Amino acid sequence: MDFYSTTSLHIRGLLRRFCAMFYDLLLLASVIFFTTLIIIPFNGGQAIDHGNLPYDFYLLIITYLYFTWQWTHGRQTLGMRAWKLRLLQQNNGNVTWRNASLRFLLAGISLLALGAGFFWSLIDPDGLAFHDRYSNTRLEME
């Protein structure tokens, strides 16, 4: 394969990643909405104040479980399923909790760096994003 066709594949893979991420963001928003409804009664029925650290930690745990549970139990989030992406270990095995957790952490860092870890896939010889490269995972297009 020449440089241009490889680059084209990497760009298409990145666009699929972003589309799946957007889809998952919509689904995650509804999960967060309903999990927040569960804890509102424990706050006296009142809205949760901005900057509430226990609540922020709760949302982080919900987000973590949303992604890692789906990666370890089926290799796909619902957004990944819609965009025909599947997560595998580099050795084609099932994703472990350790690798899923590392991927979640590194993907968060990639997002905080204005998506630089995702754009890494455009220059990576295997088309892997930063968090895939260093968590020993890879996305496969179906």
pLDDT in tens, 68-123: 999 999 999 999 999 999 999 999 889 999 999 999 999 999 999 999 999 999 99
The reported pLDDT for the residue numbered 82 is: 96
| Total count of residues recorded for the chain | 142
Count H helices, E strands: the chain? 6, 2
What are the extents of the domains in the chain?
3-141
Q: How far is CA 7 from CA 64, 81, 112, 123, 139, in A?
A: 31, 24, 25, 8, 16
User: For residue 142, what pLDDT is reported?
Assistant: 82
pLDDT, one tens digit per residue, over 25-62 is: 999 999 999 999 999 998 888 889 888 999 999 999 99
Q: Note the pLDDT tens digit of each residue in 22-35.
A: 999 999 999 999 99
Contact 89, 95 (CB under 8 A): yes
Handedness of CA 50, 51, 55, 57 (dihedral sign): positive
Predicted local distance difference test score (pLDDT) of residue 43: 87
What local confidence, expressed as pLDDT, does residue 113 receive? 95
